[in-house]
Each structure stands twice: as C-alpha cells, then as structure tokens.
Amino acid sequence: MLRYSVLNNKNRVDNLEATVTNISPSFEVKDDRFDVSQIADCHLLIEAGHDRFRFAVYNTIHEVVMWLEDYHVFSLFKHSQLLATVKQIYKNHMFLSANYWKSIRLTVSSNHFTLIPDELYQPDDMAKYLNFAAGKNLSELEQAFEFKHGHSGIVNVFSVEKELINWLKEMYPARKITPQPLLSTLIEGSIKDKTNTGLHLYFEENYVSVVYFQDARLHFCNRLQYRTAQDMVYYVMFIMNELTLDADVPVRFYGEITTFSEGFVLLNKTFKNIEFAANPSRIKFSQYFEEMPEHRYYTLFCSYYLY
C-alpha cells in the first residue's frame, strides 16, 4: 500500500521550507485580457499533489479559461515540499492570494484513498476505511474527506494533509474550501464528456493511476507507485490480465507523459488504441491555450464540473 514519510522534527521542516526559493512556473499560459479587477467574476481552480502545484483562472465575463501556471514540487529526504512551495508561490504572486474570487475549487492527489459502495458506507467510519486501505492508522497530519459519485453508487474516502488544507482556508477565509480527489475528478469528467469507456491511465512522477470503465460504468480504480518505466508497464499489464482485457481496449492517457517518454514507448508496443485526453468538452479556452498539452491538465479543468 502507498505510504510516504513524515519529518517529525519541526526544525528540519523549517529548514526544508527555507530551501524553497526562486520558484518559477514550469509551464504557463497567460491571456493579456485578464485583469485583476475581474477576480470577483473568476473561478480559481487549484490542483495539488506530491510533485505538482498548478492553478487556472476561469473568467465568467469572457466564459473562458484565461490563465494557467504549473509548478514542480521537489522533495528532500523523501519529504515533499508541497506546502513550502505553495507558500513561496503565494508570497511572490501578484494576484493568487486575492480573497474575493467568485469561487475556489481545490483538487488533490491523495496517497491514501478507498472506494466504498453507497449501501455499505458509514460517514463516521471514514478513518477506519482509510486505516484498512493503508494498512496502518491514519496519521495525525492527515484529515479524512469524502466524495460521493452519484452515477457510480460509490463514495471516495481520501485523506489530505491538514497543514495544506488549513493554510488554504486561512488564506481564503471568505470562501469555502472543499477538497476533491483527483481521481474522482477524472471519473466524473469522463462521465460528463462521455468518454467513460475502456482504460484510463493518469501519470504522476513515479505513480500511475488506473481507471477502467465497463459498459460505461466504473469497474476498477487504483493508484500504484513505481520506480522504473518497466515496473509501471508490468503493473499495468498485470491489471489488464486480471480484468481480461486485450490489446484493442481503448486507452486514454492523462498527466505527466509524452510521446517521447520511456513509459509511452513501452506501452505503445502493447496497446493498439491509445489516445491522449483532450480538454473537457464543456469548457472553453482563450486562444492562447492552443499549444497547451491538453491531457496534462484535464483534471485541473474538470474540477469546474464538480461544483
């Protein structure tokens, strides 16, 4: 089961935060029509994970996404510097900390999650579900949340770092901050875009999430950690065999993968029907987004669907 280490010594954490400086986006798209005076008419879409922090701005005046910034989160001593990175980004940003957004939508990539059928789900048992799924008790540094999939009849129980969610709530006291799990965003986006068929692979640094739809209904969902591209392919092939899928199954790629990556080259030798995810069909984009790798930011933009 997936785990991550936590530094308990506060001084060491402070030292880690001090190393996060001179941060700039690894990718960005900016529409020069956007003006900070329009923030009250804009939705702020945020996505956070162990290796990424990204956000986009959806402008309701123009009814398009007008801004995107994507940052890489580094790790030291196996400890993610997510919160330290986020703090530094906010400290230097010209409008991100504004507290008068129309809404703020937060998607998180959670290491610990489990899917529970509606008929078996008890809200008071969220921590128990996560403890069982993780094979250990939920850390005091984590907080459990739920997301209900009405179409699928399941509940996603997931954890978020308390420090991150509490810091964001303090940053935006006038707005409700309710985290949504990244894989639930992908699932709901696929249903709304009517692409809920076949195999869906979402790639993060050293993680691959596998979602499978059978007869337009969610049939399988899991997130796996790997060290090498060969390991990743082995895990995907194992799941294929368990689901009795053949090489003709439709496969859709999301996240941190390109046609030049080793993972793609290896998977392309196995699957015959691969495509990269496109932008959510119900969301419009500024003309400046034409060169954006659409599959990379699908879940970020799909968070617009979930509110």
Give the 3-state DSSP-derived string for 228-246, with helices as H, strands as E and coil as C: CHHHHHHHHHHHHHHCCCC
Q: Are 108 and 204 within 8 A, CB to CB?
A: no
Q: What is the DSSP string of 128-195?
A: HHHHHHHTSPPPTTEEEEEEEETTTTEEEEEEEEHHHHHHHHHH-TTS---EEEHHHHHHHHHHHTT-
- 155: CB partners within 8 A, 6+ apart: 115, 116, 117, 118, 121, 146, 147, 148, 149
Instruction: Compute the average pLDDT of residues 174-193.
Output: 95
For the stretch 83-141, pLDDT in tens is 999 999 999 999 999 999 999 999 999 989 999 999 999 999 999 999 999 888 888 89
Asked if residue 139 is part of any domain, the answer here is no
Last residue of a domain, one of 86, 109, 132: 109
Identify residue 126 by its one-letter amino acid code: M
What is the 8-class DSSP label of residue 266? H
Asked if residue 4 is part of any domain, the answer here is no
Asked if residue 148 is part of any domain, the answer here is no
For the stretch 14-38, pLDDT in tens is 444 455 566 899 999 999 999 999 9
Relative to beta strand 251-255, strand 274-276 is parallel
Asked if residue 119 is part of any domain, the answer here is no
Asked if residue 221 is part of any domain, the answer here is yes
Last residue of a domain, one of 109, 143, 169: 109
Last residue of a domain, one of 109, 142, 165: 109
CATH number for the domain that contains residue 244: 3.30.420.260
Domains identified in the chain, total number: 2
CATH number for the domain that contains residue 31: 3.30.420.250
What is the 8-class DSSP label of residue 281? T
Q: Are 46 and 71 within 8 A, CB to CB?
A: no
Provide φ and ψ at 199, rounded to 5°: -100, 135
For the question of whether the overall pTM of this predicted structure is more than 0.85, the answer is: yes
The Cα angle at residue 249 between residues 246 and 255, in degrees rounded to 5: 120
Asked if residue 256 is part of any domain, the answer here is yes
Asked if residue 260 is part of any domain, the answer here is yes
Range of the domain at 229: 196-276
Instruction: Compute the average pLDDT of residues 51-79.
Output: 88
How many Å apart are CA 216 and CA 196, to the nearest integer? 5
Asked if residue 239 is part of any domain, the answer here is yes
